[in-house]
Each structure stands twice: as structure tokens, then as C-alpha cells.
Amino acid sequence: MSIFSKIAKKSDEHEFFVDIPEGYSPGKTKYIITTGTVMSGLGKGIFNSSLAQLLQAKGLTIAPIKLEGYLNVDSGTLNPFRHGEVFVLDDGLECDMDLGTYERFLNLDLSKDNFMTAGRLFTRILDKERKGKYLGRDVQFVPHVTGEIKRVLRSLALRKKADIVLVEIGGTVGDIENSYYLEAMRELSYEEGPDNVCFVTLTYILEPGFLGEQKSKAAQLGIKNLLTAGIQPHIIACRCENPASEKVREKISVFSNVPFNRVFSSHDVKSIYLIPLSMKEAKLDEAVIDILGLKHRIKKGSIKRWEELVQNILNPEGEITIGITGKYTWLRDSYASIIKALEHAGAHCRTKVKIRWIETTDIESNKIPIEDAMKGLSGIIVPGGFGKRGTEGKISCIRYARENKMPYLGLCLGFQMAVVEYARNVCGLEGANTIEVEADCKHPVIAILPGQADLKSLGGNMRLGGHDVEIIKDTRAWELYGKRLSVRERFRHRYECNPPYIETLEKHGLVFSGKAPDQQIMQILELKDHPFFIGTQFHPEFTSKPLSSHPLYDGFIRAASAFSTSRPS
């Protein structure tokens, strides 16, 4: 008898606690659960996105979700040193950078339904407890926490009408903070029945240089933790620097009860965009379809456009170097979306984009002269950020780009610093600054957004998510956007160009080519007498996709290529 036929209400009479959303049909949606062992950072997001792309190409509807173990309600207050970039969805949710990977690979716009933290999960459960939703029962990890997790997944399946819900469990098997997620997945498999849940595990194969061979013991022990949790993997992907040897794969197969032909080598490749192709060659997608019994739902599809993208990446016609200024330059994940947007635009323009990281505090302290920092660059990007450190160095970089006609792209803080630089050095407003850096500055050309001044907490209260941008006709932005008068972009900021200074800035030649509809909130700036000088209060990198690169990044790369060609050798 199916567990669904024995569903009981939440009472003391039964131990079955299967809170099924209305309209949910077991077996209609399949589940792929991806976990990691040995260590974090194995690339579960990239692996899942690549697999999902192959399944999507076969006509299947995929709904990804990331389950995080940390107690933050969202990722908004996380330091990039701790967790990489904060990615922002169109509905305003600040989330894990893996959601950006899913959006890019699947060409989807995701929402809060595709992300869950322990903080959000427990908030929901405690809210229900306060409202008496558990009918007097003591609220426990099993069945209430695990039940809420399963409800999240089934609700997502319903809303998205998904053939497959693709679940990524953050962290590493064995972590305390994801143990209840694993238990929920074990229960889900039990309740959904055979052929409806596929467990995929990424593990790490060590290859110590002093030994000169691959070792699988750490991987075996990591998989043992999964087996101990009551989960039998169907597929194991061996993350390693070089292709996993047959001997290692055999050991993993014997130890884990996974057939040898479902133990895959997931080794390093030249570009992450090659991963879907290598998975297809290894027939990983076919293995999943077989496990989940989905052959009858498959439609003829193609990844030809993706193959063309890879060819453009591997066979560029030119090469440029872009400088990225910032204060997290030694942690590349802090700027993941910018790096990806440059890759997308580079592929579209058949140009290899190299990145030089510029620590602006070194320029600020005169440790590195500005001319030396800018030498050999074809353009610079000043990315988003918060706080005072390094801002004067960024302003020096912006001035150099403006005066030397070097292509410039300013993102969020880069927009604000461009306003400060222009106010000081062109408009003659001595002492101009942002009140974020200098609260009582003489000319606060960057000020707090309306409605932000009285906020005390830091989480989730900025101008966040997708907003419409009104584009001014006959500007560079208007041309780059294909002469559209309105576009939608994603924001994450608390400060803006101070409205009383707009007239002065425009009078001296600064062009505000994008603004909030019916509001005096400036969102794009540019210069007319410059090959490419654009600042955006939003983050165009959040909506860039491999197969549809962002027009502002495209324009920047083309201008940088032209600058590189015209620059004296």
C-alpha cells in the first residue's frame, strides 16, 4: 500500500506525517537529489546545472532548488569572504551564487521558491507553531522539520509543473547543519516510491603530488556517511584534477553498491561550459532518464547553440585584458557574476577576456602609481561594494579612464564613484562625496534612498530585485539596448545620485541615460565624448546568460577591443 494512502492528519494517532499540498500527484514529478562528500566547493551547482541543461534539452521541465544549512534568513548579510557573491533574483531575494549558475545554464529567471535556508525554514515552522498549526503536538525535527522540507519541494513541483525537481543540498554530508535535509530526502524517497527519486553524489578523489597516484579512501569514507544516513546513491561523480582512473572507479563502485558504469569521472576541463558536453559524452543524462523511468516523456532536442558557444570560447579571434578594481580581489567568487558576464560577452564577440585584479587600497596609499596599475589594460570595471575602504583608489581609476578615453563600466558603487569623481574634477564641487563614506561631506552628491534613512537592520531592506528602467532616446544606452525605451534590470543598493545635484552634473556634460519611471532616481550615466563610459546603478551581470550576453557588457568588450587595437604598442 502506498504511503500516500495512509496519510493522517497531524495528530497523536499516527506516525505518518506527510503534509501533501493540494493537487499534488505522486510520481508526476521526479526528484534528483545532489549531495557532496569529503569537502565543500566541489562544484555541485555547476554539475547540477550542466545535468539539468541536458535534461532540459530533451524537453523536460526542470525546477532547481538549493537547500542551505546556515541559519541566516537569506544571503544578504553574508561577507563575500565567507560565502562568495550574493546573487539577487528578480523578486528581490538575496541568495547563494549557485542560483546564478542555474539561471545562466537553464536560461531561467528563478524566485524565492528556488532557495531555502535553515533560517527561512525554521521561521516558517515556528510561525506555524505560534498559530497552533500543529494541533498541540511537540514540534520536532522528525516529523515537522523534515515534513516542511518535503512540502517545500512538492509545492515547487506543483507551481512549476516540473517533470524534475533538482535539489542541491549545500555543504558536505556529515555536517550537522544539513543532517535534517538528508533525513528529509531519505523520507521523500521512501514516500515517493521506486523510480521517482535519483540520488547523485559528488565526491573528491585525492591525488597527492608526493604519491603520484589517485587515492579513493577519503571518498569511500565520505560515501559511508551517506550510506549511514540511509541513502543509497544511484550515481557517483568523482571530482578530480585528472580523469579518474578505472581502478579508482572500481573501488568506489564496490564500496558504494553503485554499478561501475554509473561512477563517472568529473575531472577539470578548460572551461565550465565544456561540462555539459562531457556529461553528454559520458551518457550521464541517459543514466538519469533510465533511473527515473522518463523515456516516455523525452522529446527530440538539441544543444547545438551551446556547442557553438564552446567553439567561440575555445577559438577566440582576439585577446584583451580588463582591470577589475575592488577590495575582495583575492577571492574570485566575490565577483562571480561579473566574471561570467565577461565570459559571455567575450564568447559573443569572439574575444578572450583576461582579468587583472586591482587592489585599490594600493593605489590609495600610493604603493602602486595609477599609471602602472592601468598599464596594458583595455578597459576597467569598478564593481559593486559597500564601505569606505578603497573608494579613493577607485575614484583615481575612474578619473584615469575618463581622461585617457579608456573604456569604463561602473556597477552600482561604480556608478556612485563615477558621480563623485565627475562632481569633484569636472563640476568643481570640492569635497563632493557619498554620505556612505563621509556623512557630513560638503557636497553629498550620493545620498540615501528615500525610505532608507530610518532603517536599522541590514537584512533585506535595500532596493532589491528587478525594476523597470526608462531609457532616454538617442543615448549610448538606448543604442546598446536595441533602441528600447524600457528595460528590466536587477538592483541591490541603498544610495542614489542626490537629486539636488542632478542639474549641475548634467550642465557640465554628464548624461543620465536611464532613470526610474516617474521618479528622480538616476540609474544609468554616460559621457558623450568618450568611446565607452557607462555607469549603472543596477547589476547587468545578474541577467547575463551564456547564450544571450548582456548588451552593456557586449558594448564594453567591443569598445575595449577597439581601444586595444588603437593603443600605441
- Say how many Å lie between the first and final Cα of the chain, rounded: 78
Give the integer Cα–Cα distance in Å for 434 and 448: 9
Partner residues linked to 446 by β-bridges: 434, 497
Point out the residues that are catalytic. 412, 539, 541
Give the integer Cα–Cα distance in Å for 552 and 475: 13
CB contact at 8 A, 262 and 235: yes
Amino acid (one-letter) located at 522:
M
> Rg (Cα) of the chain, in Å, rounded?
26
Give the integer Cα–Cα distance in Å for 10 and 114: 26
Closest C-alpha to 266, from 251, 250, 284? 284
- DSSP E strands, 268-328: 318-326
Report the half-sphere exposure of 562 (CA within 13 A, side-chain side): 12
Count of CB atoms within 10 A of residue 241's CB? 10
Give the integer Cα–Cα distance in Å for 471 and 46: 34
Give the integer Cα–Cα distance in Å for 259 and 31: 20
Give the integer Cα–Cα distance in Å for 87 and 76: 9
3-state secondary structure of 1: coil
Q: What is the largest CA-CA distance in the chain?
A: 82
> What is the phi/psi pair of residue 172, to 5°?
-125, 140
